[in-house]
Structure 1
Amino acid sequence: MNRGIYIVANDYVIDNAIALLNSIRYYDQEVLVYLIPFNDNYQKVADKLSTLHNVQIFPNLELIEEFTKRIGEIFDRNFLALPNKMRKLVAWFGPLDEFIYIDTDIVVFEKIADNLEKLSEVDFFCCDYHHANDKLRNIFSSVIKEQQIFSDNQLEDVFNSGFWASRKGIISELQMDKTLRECATHREYFDFSEGVTDQPILNYLVLKLIAKRGNLVKIPGGGPGSWAGSRNFQQQDYALYDRGQRLKYLHWAGIKMKSNSPYWELWNHYRYLHEGKFAFIPKLTRRLFPFVTAHT
């Protein structure tokens, strides 16, 4: 059985992609990682990630192009802000039997592919608190409840589209095509007010087509959070902790990466992990990693 990770990237997000892959490989040298090109401008990031971390290009580029064309045929031009973000959906038809999809504005703090063991219990899982904090915001409009498209229990399973896992074949191309067309005829179901693209559609697909779902934070007492907008995480040895629990990953969702962004030093650490330079390194870091040269 092939297990691994998919990412979507192009040259524009090369720094984020390097930080993500540096963190993945720090904890796991072996896991398969495939790059799904966001558009045609991906040669620099592909070459860099291949050289550093043996990241492979998604082997069926024709499938990606066909899928992108189909998205353009199904949805009106003004329906989706960034239609190419939908390319992550080809993960269900790729070479991996079981997979985690990870956005590039994430770094991980563990051997993240070990979480695929959860697929022995469910057919899809996420790992975030969107259901508790943002609830239906940036996913569904009030119409979805008013018309009882999904039950209240189903809506407790909404999720952020930056980190999720499933297995090949759980959704067929025919099912996906039919369900995407449903979405295209019911724009009123979705909340695109803050410029999201794939998240509302992906949530609709999963709630509609996958009955056995899980969320890794739904454990007794609650699992650790993951959003970089949460300022209450504690840092230790280049990982973060939430109420004493080590985060699985940190996601800068909706946050532009710049020098005053939350947890910027942590991101900087993973971005330049193999290059020996950082914008800022705390004294504790220099003691733990004496081989690193700090730039002031």
Structure 2
Amino acid sequence: MTDGIYTLANDVVYDQLVALLNSIEVNAGREIPVCVIPYDNRLDKIRAEVATRSNVTLLEDLAVINYWENFATQAWKAHHRAQRVWRERGLPEVYRLAMHRKLCALHGIFDKFIYFDADTLLMGPLDYIYQKLDDYDWVTNDFQYKSDLKYIFDGNYELQKQAFNDDNLQLKVFCAGWFAAKKNIFSEPILADLLDKLKAGEADIMALGGPDQSLFNYMVCRSEIAYYNFAVREVEQVTGNHWSSKFDVIDNVLYDKGRRLTYLHYMSIPASQFTRLCAGEDVDIPYRDTFLHYRYLKSPESKPQSFTSPSLPVRLQRYTNSFFSQKARNITLKYRNFRDKIFH
């Protein structure tokens, strides 16, 4: 039985991907194959990097990619509120559709797998995660359950109750940026049944902000596959994983009150911040030296030797671009609302 790791990437997150791959190589405790799922077609740097690593491959199966994009599209087109809101905001009919490509892992090459967002660093061995998959179908290790349930499911409460019939639903939600599962745990009949339920009205349960996360949580909770979250079940032993926490750094490995982290997640920090840092800009990123260590582990000669702040004109240009981009979005939204009132 093959264990493996998946991640989702394109050239925009190239620096983060290199850091992740290097952290896996030195901290996993053994060689674990990695498969990169393409976020889109911007892959020149990614292809070149993959070609240098014997244990890393790029998912090229368009049939699998198309299958899961179609599945996600059907699910979200059944969400009437999402279709209205996204249309009003000038967004595609499925917001962040490419993020759903991580579901390709379910039809992938590994029997057991762990999915990492590209903005993640591995800090310790993973065998205990793979071992837990002997008894469970879906395994997580995060604290999403401590957040408001509305970030995952924000539809009508009665509809939620009808769909899940679970008083412990809050304890079962998870972050879709890091999870472990088994290949083909969702059979074709199960997937067809889930789509039927979504189209019958249950799609409206899902929250809109992180659509891939909402859909993954729906699939796991609604199908009632065997689920385990270390952060819920082993509170005394589990460590944190979010960049906002205070960790100790020893030899480029992070520790939480003396316990070695499994992974560090840079969730919500824009990829552009890492790109600028690697270009020599003085960007304040948490655990910056740790990130740079793994990013340039194999190419220390390329690591910036000093960091400078961007010039005033550059800062002003960035602010101006951001300001006018927001203005343009607001104008577009007002126009769409005005148009809809007239013609509908």
Same fold (TM over 0.5): yes
Cross-structure match for 1:289: none
Cross-structure match for 2:220: 206
Larger Cα-atom Rg: 2
What's the offset of the Cα at 1:199?
0.5
Cross-structure match for 1:272: 296
What's the offset of the Cα at 1:187?
4.7
Quick check: 2:50–2:58 contact (8 Å CA) kept in 1? Answer: no
Q: Does 1:140 align with 2:128?
A: no
What's the offset of the Cα at 1:146?
6.7
Q: Deviations over 1:217-238 (max 9, x none)?
A: 23152410101122x2111111
Whole-Å separation in 1 of the counterparts to 2:225 and 2:157:
18
Quick check: 2:159–2:205 contact (8 Å CA) kept in 1? Answer: no
Quick check: 1:85–1:198 contact (8 Å CA) kept in 2? Answer: yes
Cross-structure match for 1:287: none
- Identify the range of structure 1 (57-66 vs 72-81) with the bigger mean alpha-carbon deviation: 72-81
Q: Does 1:261 align with 2:285?
A: yes
Q: Does 1:237 align with 2:251?
A: yes
Quick check: 2:159–2:202 contact (8 Å CA) kept in 1? Answer: no
Quick check: 2:73–2:94 contact (8 Å CA) kept in 1? Answer: no
Cross-structure match for 1:32: 33
Equivalent position to 2:119, from 99, 102, 105: 105
Cross-structure match for 1:164: 179
Q: Which amino acid aligns with 1:85?
A: M
What's the offset of the Cα at 1:26?
1.2
Cross-structure match for 2:207: 191
Quick check: 2:145–2:173 contact (8 Å CA) kept in 1? Answer: yes
Tell me the secondary structure at the aligned position of residue 152 of structure 1: coil
Describe the shift of the 1:117–1:196 C-alpha distance in structure 2 as closer, same or farther (beyond 3 A): same
Describe the shift of the 1:137–1:65 C-alpha distance in structure 2 as closer, same or farther (beyond 3 A): same
Q: Deviations over 1:234-268 (max 9, x none)?
A: 11111111122111000011122532122222111
Task: Among all aligned residue pairs of Structure 1 and Structure 2, give the percentage whose two residues are the same amino acid.
Answer: 30
Quick check: 1:100–1:113 contact (8 Å CA) kept in 2? Answer: no
Cross-structure match for 1:126: 140
Quick check: 2:206–2:218 contact (8 Å CA) kept in 1? Answer: no
Cross-structure match for 1:227: 242
With normalisation by structure 2, the TM-score equals 0.74
Describe the shift of the 1:219–1:11 C-alpha distance in structure 2 as closer, same or farther (beyond 3 A): same
With normalisation by structure 1, the TM-score equals 0.85
Cross-structure match for 1:9: 9
RMSD: 2.3
- Identify the range of structure 1 (160-169 vs 173-182) with the bigger mean alpha-carbon deviation: 173-182
Which consecutive residues of structure 2, in runs of 5 or more, have no partner in the other structure? 78-82, 87-92, 274-282, 308-344
Whole-Å separation in 2 of the counterparts to 1:50 and 1:165:
26
Whole-Å separation in 2 of the counterparts to 1:12 and 1:227:
22
What's the offset of the Cα at 1:33?
0.9
Describe the shift of the 1:54–1:222 C-alpha distance in structure 2 as closer, same or farther (beyond 3 A): closer
